[in-house]
Amino acid sequence: KESEKEVVMQTMINLGIWENKNYHFDWEEKIILEETSSPNYWSYVLLPITLFIINKISDGLVEAGIFDNQLVRLGTIPILGVISYFLAAWIIRYYHASLKLQTSKLDEDQCKKLIKALKRRKVYFTFLVNLFRFLTVAAILLFVIGNETIAALFLLISFSVIFMFKFDYQLSKWPDMIEIISQEVGNGK
3-state SS, one letter per residue, for the chain? CCCCCCCCHHHEEEEEEECCEEEEEECCCCEEEEEEECCCCHHHHHHHHHHHHHHHHHHHHHHHCHHHCHHHHHHHHHHHHHHHHHHHHHHHHHHHHCCEEEECCCCHHHHHHHHHHHHHHHHHHHHHHHHHHHHHHHHHHHHHHHCCCHHHHHHHHHHHHHHHHHHHCCHHHHHHHHHHHHHHHHCCC
Give residue 80's pLDDT.
Answer: 86
In the predicted model, residues of the chain with pLDDT beneath 50 are 1-8
